[in-house]
Chains A and B, each alone.
Chain A
Amino acid sequence: MSAALDACSSLGIAVDEAGGPDGGPLALPRTEAEACELIGSFEDTSEGARLAPLGLGSSVDWCRPEQAAGDVRTLWLSTRSLVEAQGGVGVVEYVPGDGTLTALAGARMTDLRAVVAEGGHRITPAIGTDSTLGGVLAAGRSGGDRCAHGPGRHHVLGMRAVDGGGRVARSGGRLVKNVTGFDLHRLHVGARGTLGVVLEASLRLVPTPEAEALLVSEPLASDAEAVALALEVRADQRVRPRQLVVRDRRVHVVVAGRAAQVELERAAAEAHLGSAEVIAGDGSEERALAAADRAPAMRVLVAPSRVVEATRAIASALGETAGIVIEPDAAIVDLPRSLVDGHAEAWTDALLPALDARGARVESRCPLEPTVAAALAERHARATTAPERAWTGRLIEAFDPLHVLRTSGFPAGFDSDR
């Protein structure tokens, strides 16, 4: 690692020696060229360390620095410093007339949201926490608005990324429709930085709705009951929710669009929810973002038709559901770390088998106790074919041939010491 730090010094890159989320060193390049040169030369100087991009750290838990830090040190590479060196908020191009935004990876989502709001647009995925664009994309995050707009990855128009060999490659573009070349950017979204460091991305924006209302139900007896009620709203053709989330046993419904339509949909949704708190106008967007916000430690994906059963199985196995957030339309159940740490036996003996029986897939986003990690690895091995593992392996070899960008446990089946 000392040689890597020397390399930073010789490249003129400042280092905050304890600036990383694990207390490790954080490199602060000022230009893209510096960042690329550091990555390209990293293997020669790393002494077995790894390099990981860092925005604001909101997704770092998902990339499991603790595990990687066990035996392998990490040199963190700031994407924020590239934005700060330029002096702006990281917007490369915002074209209101075309509804597109191109920004640096280190740009704060809150800053970008403010910029496009001026032009009557919103960013999807709608993310409430203070994250960077690169972090959101690398973590494969979607927003509460996926009910209306789909997952975040569907709105990435193009990207530039530097891979583990220091090669900068671009795919896609800044246009809302474009099928020229392979969609490399789709690989980087959700790859947690293992195939490269995102430098810049272009997004398709969505219009700010003319009107919007958030309806929050009274708490129901259980999360499963709340999910069942949310699915009732989903099945009502009169309501097209922008957001549909269950948290704290309450159903949160956002309706948005033309003012007259929102009034109709709000009334239809209220008919399902009964006495609901209604937040309209100023503050509704922030409240909606907060309702959907979470940093899951474990994610359960299941079909909507089985999400009630899966929720019951979670409650039954863990004995509690405090802190879980459910999107019934996408059928995603996100569990906080408090329902993972210290529950190893419940996961391995009861919950995972019960979820298996319901066709669910489970993805971890935090360090796990060894027995749970082993059980998940075994499930992933069963769910993937030999060709899938070969394709993934070859992609890693092509884009990170020297394994400087490795992250423990991701992709599933590829160890940190690969």
Chain B
Amino acid sequence: MTLTRKHLKELRRIVGERGVRADANARSAYESDGFMLQSARAEVIVLPRTTEEAAASVRVLRDAGLVVVPRGAGTGLSGGARPTEGGAILGTARMREVLEVNEVDRYARVQAGVVNVHLTSACADKGLFYAPDPSSQTACTIGGNVGNNSGGPHGFKYGSTTRHVRGLTLVDSDGNVSELGGPLADPAGGLDLVGPVVGSEGMLGLVTEVVVNLVPTPESVETLLCMFESLDACCDAVSEMIAQRLEPSAIEILDRLTIEAVEASVLRAGYPDNAEAVMLVEVEGGAAEVEATREDVLAIARSFGAFDARSTSDAGERKRLWAGRKGAFGAMGRIAPDLYVADVVAPRTRLREIVATATDACHERGLKLSNVFHAGDGNLHPNISYDRRDEDEVKRVLEAGRIIMEACVAAGGSLTGEHGVGLEKQDEMCLVFRDEDLDAMNDLRRAFDPSGFWNPGKMLPVRGCREIHTPPLPREAGSAEAAGASAT
């Protein structure tokens, strides 16, 4: 079977004309996510507005014999939100309603396509906020955050998305809808089915609504900027802060190349032009707590060679400092057309060592490396600027990326801290997990999705012919594209 005119007509009936895209332009726009090194086109992109529309669309796509890739804003950096070959993309871009904000019980119920920062805006007047704050939070969606168990700078204090999801609505491959968990504190009487869905990279079903935890806005917040003459010293200062058990809400590091890119961009944050690295720290809580922690942070920074430091509680200045940090990836566009954002985790006692490995790997291959990362969590983002039109440079970028991953794993670290495995790190899963571990993960996947309908070919490496996932059924030449061309 394949996607026929009848299927397209039925999809349009369900989600409306604007919700079905099968033309070449649209398929091209969805052929990759933030991991631009590889791409593949879906046969059709479906954009429902409600859970009911999503469930009905699933039934049509299943009937058409297509596999489905769930997708939020497509800001993911591991290739998880694009197809491996053919199939359909089921996007949540039109599911943008904040359905409920409950001030007393401190939760919100949102559609999966709600943009992360919009949720916090929606509950700000109630003295609450949504804690996970990925750098892409002005674009990325809550559903995408659930798929990748996304973090962000303030994950140091508040943890990643999984600690903030109380419940979710999941559509299975038959188009059935289930509400898992909910506003109440714990699973009752059964297995915790919410836990494994968070971070499952869209492989267990389509998340259409999410019940998230909201956190009271702190009484006092200060942002600190500490300047260092050496990136190593900056890393060591962070390790010492962790060892001293300080509890700021975020500890970030930006190196010189990143600072230069940010300062040359529209996001100019006022970072110093004479520092090899800066540490951006946020301290929050009661006023006395903020004061005590600020002094401890500054003392450690100075003892590790910080030549200058400043702190601010001014909302405008704080916003500017954070805009520079969160816009750093975008600012790298000034260095080269493309950016490879590595996402690895190292034990927090070994930050300097992994940064040095990344520096050497890139230097030896003539690559431009910049570092901007969640130092407090040990979540490193060595960023390599490159031009994807240069095949040799692409090859060197991937080599360097693999060396960084291997070094992290050898140091007791991990492949990914917040961007997911997707397609990019699928093969490297065998560096971290044994066959038995991967078999058990496959069992989990099959328990939710026995037919391999959801996002096949991602995360779990193919280790033998028996594991080759259900491919999309062959498409009759031109059928979907031809039928959809007039719909755009």
The answer on a CB contact under 8 Å between B289 and A207 is no
Contact of B198 (CB < 8 Å), options: A173, A177, A183, A376: A183
The answer on a CB contact under 8 Å between B349 and A98 is yes
B434 surroundings in chain A (CB, below 8 A): 170
A332 surroundings in chain B (CB, below 8 A): 185-186
Contact of B180 (CB < 8 Å), options: A169, A182, A388, A398: A388
B198 surroundings in chain A (CB, below 8 A): 183
- Encoded as 1 (CB less than 8 Å from any A CB) or 0, chain B from 157 to 188 comes to 00110110000001010101111100111111
Q: Does A343 contact B (CB under 8 A)?
A: no
Give the residues from 415 to 461 in chain B that come closer than 8 angstroms, CB to CB, to chain A.
415-421, 425, 429, 432-434, 436-441, 443-448, 450, 459
B379 surroundings in chain A (CB, below 8 A): 177
With A175-B347, A183-B196: A99-B437 Cβ-Cβ less than 8 Å: no
The answer on a CB contact under 8 Å between A394 and B195 is no
Stretch at the interface among A50-58, A83-91, A299-307: A299-307
Specify the chain B residue showing the minimal Cβ separation from A299.
B188
A99 surroundings in chain B (CB, below 8 A): 242, 245, 348
With A208-B245, A395-B444: A180-B421 Cβ-Cβ less than 8 Å: yes
A330 surroundings in chain B (CB, below 8 A): 185-186
B151 surroundings in chain A (CB, below 8 A): 177
Q: Does A416 contact B (CB under 8 A)?
A: no
Contact of A399 (CB < 8 Å), options: B170, B174, B443: B443
B378 surroundings in chain A (CB, below 8 A): 98, 175-177
The answer on a CB contact under 8 Å between B432 and A301 is no
Report the separation of the CA atoms of residues A395 and B421 in the bound assembly, to the nearest whole angstrom.
Answer: 23
Give the residues from 125 to 173 in chain A that come closer than 8 angstroms, CB to CB, to chain B.
140, 142, 150-151, 153-154, 163, 167-171, 173
Q: Does B149 contact A (CB under 8 A)?
A: yes
Contact of A240 (CB < 8 Å), options: B180, B186, B285, B433: B285
With A181-B432, A260-B292: A190-B347 Cβ-Cβ less than 8 Å: no
A362 surroundings in chain B (CB, below 8 A): 188
Report the separation of the CA atoms of residues A18 and B301 in the bound assembly, to the nearest whole angstrom.
Answer: 60
Stretch at the interface among A7-15, A212-220, A221-229, A378-386: A378-386
The answer on a CB contact under 8 Å between A163 and B440 is yes
The answer on a CB contact under 8 Å between B433 and A181 is yes
Contact of A186 (CB < 8 Å), options: B160, B174, B192, B419: B192
Q: Does B155 contact A (CB under 8 A)?
A: yes
- Encoded as 1 (CB less than 8 Å from any A CB) or 0, chain B from 129 to 173 comes to 000000000000000000011010001000110110000001010
B191 surroundings in chain A (CB, below 8 A): 187, 190-191, 195, 392, 395, 411
Q: Does A261 contact B (CB under 8 A)?
A: yes
With A177-B345, A399-B443: A258-B196 Cβ-Cβ less than 8 Å: no
Chain B interface residues toward A at CB < 8 A? 102, 104-106, 127, 148-149, 151, 155, 159-160, 162-163, 170, 172, 174, 176-180, 183-193, 195-196, 198-200, 216, 219, 239, 242-243, 245, 247, 285-289, 291-293, 345, 347-349, 374, 377-379, 412-421, 425, 429, 432-434, 436-441, 443-448, 450, 459
CB<8 Å pairs between A and B, sample of 17: A98-B242, A98-B347, A120-B245, A154-B162, A170-B434, A171-B441, A173-B414, A179-B420, A182-B199, A207-B247, A258-B289, A260-B288, A260-B289, A303-B184, A304-B105, A385-B176, A387-B172
Beyond A177-B151, A190-B187, A330-B185: 15 further Cβ-contacts under 8 Å? A97-B348, A98-B347, A98-B348, A154-B159, A176-B377, A178-B416, A179-B416, A180-B416, A189-B192, A301-B185, A362-B188, A387-B172, A392-B190, A395-B191, A395-B444
